[in-house]
Amino acid sequence: MLSTQNIQLITKETQKTVLRAVCESPTLSIEELTLYLKSTGKSISQDEVVQVLNTIYLNKNWNKISREEYQKLLLEYLWTIEAQILYLLPVKQKETTVAEFNQFRLRNKQPKVSKDLIRHIQSLLHVDGKNLSKFRKFEKELSLMDDVDPNVLTQWAFRVILASLDISSISDVQSLPGLLIDTFREKFSVLAEKVGKTIQRITEKFVECYFPKGIAEGKLKELIQTYQSIYLNYKQGAEGELIVHKEYQDQNKVIETLIQDLEAVREIVNESHEGGFVSKLVSGKVKNREGIVERLEKVTNSLKELMDLNNAVNKANMEKTLLVQKLQSDYENVLLTKTQFENESYDLKEKTNSLEERKKELENELHDKTESLERAHEKIAELQQKIDKIPEIESKEANLREELNFAKDISLQLHRRLTKIKSDIQKLNSEKTKIEKQTNGKELLTIVQIEANN
């Protein structure tokens, strides 16, 4: 519930502007509604919009409820006011009409509505002024009316059609306009000819006003069932009110006739001035005796008629009481079902969120596993390529081994050759040394001999 401080922040003009916008576009989200108001030059914040919504439904966390639940709440609010205007608002209005209208709403635990909002919704429904009685006549007779614009009649017809539309025939919101048009042409063929191609635009505008684009089939059927329940409840309630009102009118008429007859009898009695009236009536000396008897018979008949009408009124009142009790019971059942649905919806939403989180975790895990698997496949491919090269490597290895063995043989041969060469060199060196020694000895001997000869 709003605090006193918050309530003071909302001016009547702000509340009027926001509620008008809600009735014109009930499927807009809070953010979209705020932007729409700004586009029309209205400086109204999102917080102010939320505060106005709290005057419709108390204790709602508007920032956390789903878009579908938000739209359903606003449509229930709007459809209820529309049905009450169409069937309960008096045709001839007076100063106390709005107060009486709000008393009825308060008895049904519904917030009060301003006179301005009632007039605005009447204008949107095209039932302002004399059109309200014309709508009720059209809804009852379902016939063409020459003094009403065919386009307006078409919009009224769609409301009547939607209230009795077979839910099982609905598939999705895209096909709803076509379904309404087919039913309209079947039930209002003459009006359909008058409207012509304009019917397509009227139908699409009617559907777009109440049913969001892209709404799921189940949610769409649920909204239409809600519309039908509200519409038919107030229609039946209005029929009970009309019966009682008619009986009271007939009763008042009989009472007026009864009073007139009694006054006529009194005048006849006043004209008798000789002796007692009863003795004159018995002796036949009363003036206009036949007139008195006739008037008394009329009074008796009027009293009987009054008793019959009184019984009829009592019966109608009893039926009305039972109907009101039934409507109240239905309303309480709807509230109970709505509460249960909200709780189930909340639980389902929590489960959905858990499933979404688990889904994201599994998706991330799957993504990681997929990447790991891809890397593993790449590694396997690399290994396979290496495995495929093994025979070639083995062949090269065998060749290399042969070359190695051949090289070893050559190396061994070279080693032996080098060893022999070294041995030969050593021998040569040894022989060279001997020769040098011998040569040196001979040279020395020669030198000695030469010296000796000298």
Q: Is residue 242 part of a domain?
A: yes
Residues 208 and 258 in one domain: no
Helix, strand, coil percent content, the chain, rounded in steps of 5: 80, 0, 20
Residues 208 and 338 in one domain: no
Rounded Cα distance, 133 and 86, in Å? 9
Residues 258 and 335 in one domain: yes
Domain-terminating residue out of 314, 349, 368: 368
Residues for the chain: how many in total?
Answer: 454
- The pLDDT of residue 3: 34
Mean pLDDT in consecutive groups of 10 residues from the start of the chain, 454 residues: 45 92 92 92 90 86 87 93 90 80 84 91 92 91 90 94 90 92 93 92 93 89 91 74 45 62 63 48 51 66 70 67 63 67 75 85 87 87 84 84 87 88 87 80 72 70
Residues 191 and 313 in one domain: no
Work out the number of other CB atoms within 10 angstroms of the CB of residue 77: 20
Tokens representing 222 are 């649920």
Q: Is residue 397 part of a domain?
A: no
Parent domain of 198: 67-232
- The pLDDT of residue 142: 87
Rounded Cα distance, 238 and 84, in Å? 9
Instruction: Report which DSSP code applies to 130.
Output: T
- CA-CA-CA-CA torsion sign (64, 68, 72, 74): positive
The answer to whether 170 touches 221, Cβ cutoff 8 Å, is yes
- The pLDDT of residue 336: 66
CA–CA distance from 174 to each of 27, 141, 220, 245 (Å)?
Answer: 16, 30, 11, 43
Domains: count for the chain = 3
pTM: 0.54
R_g of the chain computed on alpha carbons? 55
The answer to whether 65 touches 30, Cβ cutoff 8 Å, is no
Q: Is residue 166 part of a domain?
A: yes
Residues 270 and 334 in one domain: yes
Q: Is residue 180 part of a domain?
A: yes
Tokens representing 243 are 């019966």
Residues 6+ apart with CB under 8 A from 30: 46, 49, 50, 53, 62, 63, 70
Rounded Cα distance, 64 and 68, in Å? 12
Nearest CA-CA partner of 227 in 102, 101, 78: 78
- The pLDDT of residue 96: 79
Residues 82 and 226 in one domain: yes
Residues 204 and 269 in one domain: no
Residues 318 and 282 in one domain: yes
Work out the number of other CB atoms within 10 angstroms of the CB of residue 315: 13
Half-sphere exposure of residue 188: CA atoms within 13 angstroms, side-chain side: 27
The answer to whether 219 touches 210, Cβ cutoff 8 Å, is no
Q: Is residue 450 part of a domain?
A: yes
- What does the buried/exposed string (b/e) look like for 96-105 if buried means 16 or more CB atoms within 10 Å of the residue's CB? eebeebbeeb
What crossing angle do the helices spanning 150-163 and 198-210 adopt, rounded to 10°?
50
- The pLDDT of residue 20: 94
Residues 356 and 415 in one domain: no
Residues 295 and 221 in one domain: no
Cα 264 → chain centroid = 68
Rounded Cα distance, 427 and 273, in Å? 200
Q: Is residue 154 part of a domain?
A: yes
Domain-terminating residue out of 169, 201, 232: 232
**Residue-by-residue DSSP string for 59-70:** T--TTTS-HHHH
At 397, phi and psi to the nearest 5? Answer: -65, -45
Residues 337 and 439 in one domain: no
Q: Is residue 221 part of a domain?
A: yes
Rounded Cα distance, 84 and 291, in Å? 51
At 418, phi and psi to the nearest 5? Answer: -65, -40
Domain-terminating residue out of 187, 216, 232: 232
Rounded Cα distance, 451 and 444, in Å? 10
CA angle 203, 204, 209 (to 5 degrees): 100
Half-sphere exposure of residue 289: CA atoms within 13 angstroms, side-chain side: 10
Work out the number of other CB atoms within 10 angstroms of the CB of residue 324: 15
Nearest CA-CA partner of 124 in 82, 91, 176: 82
Q: Is residue 313 part of a domain?
A: yes
Nearest CA-CA partner of 126 in 104, 93, 100, 157: 157
Residues 281 and 180 in one domain: no
Q: Helices in 88-175 by DSSP H: which ranges? A: 97-107, 115-125, 131-141, 150-163
